[in-house]
Every structure is written in C-alpha cells, then in structure tokens.
Amino acid sequence: MKGGITMSDIVQIISAVGFPIVAAIGCAFFVKWQYELNARINEDMRKEHKEEVANMTKAINNNTIVLQKLIDKLEGDRNDKD
C-alpha cells in the first residue's frame, strides 16, 4: 500500500460504522476541501483587486491634477480678458 485508502479499506469502514456515517464524513471532508480552495481563490482575487484599486486611484489623482491645471488656466485666461 502506498499510504492511500484502498477500496477494501472503504468497504471495511462502511461495514463497521455504516454507510450514512461514512457518507457524512466524506461530505464533511469535501466541504472542508472546497472551503479551503475557495479561500485561496478569494485571497488571490483580493490581491488582484487591491492592485487594480491602487492603479485606479493613481489614475483618478492624475486626472484630478490635470483638471485642476485646466481650470486654473481657463480662469487665468478669463481674468486676462477682463
């Protein structure tokens, strides 16, 4: 045996404790595995989202600076005409 559970091990466990208990334990392990997988995926997505938000914030700040310069220039042009 290579350290894994064989089919005869599963049959022996089912005959010892019953199918519903083995099925419930199997479902619990599946739910735990699925939860851990989703947690890893969510962590990766959170990191990507954090980078995206940082880039968007930088772009918005740059646009704000440019808009402020344009407003200042337009106000300066308007004051020159008066």
The residue whose two tokens read 């402020």 is 68
Q: 2 in a domain, yes or no?
A: no
- Name the more confident of 47 and 82: 47
Please tell me the total count of domains within the chain.
1
Q: 19 in a domain, yes or no?
A: yes
Phi, psi of 18 (to 5 degrees): 105, 150
Q: 62 in a domain, yes or no?
A: yes
pTM above the 0.75 mark? no
| pLDDT computed for residue 10 by the predictor | 86
Summarize pLDDT for 10-65 with one digit per residue, the tens. 899 889 988 899 899 999 999 999 999 999 999 999 999 999 999 999 999 999 99
| pLDDT computed for residue 5 by the predictor | 84
Q: 57 in a domain, yes or no?
A: yes
Give the containing element (helix H, strand E) for 24. Answer: helix 19-81
Going from the C-alpha of 39 to that of each of 30, 36, 49, 62, 67, the distances in angstroms are 14, 5, 15, 35, 41
Q: 1 in a domain, yes or no?
A: no
Task: Categorise residue 4: left if φ over 0, alpha if ψ from -120 to 50, beta otherwise.
Answer: beta
Domain carrying residue 77: 7-81
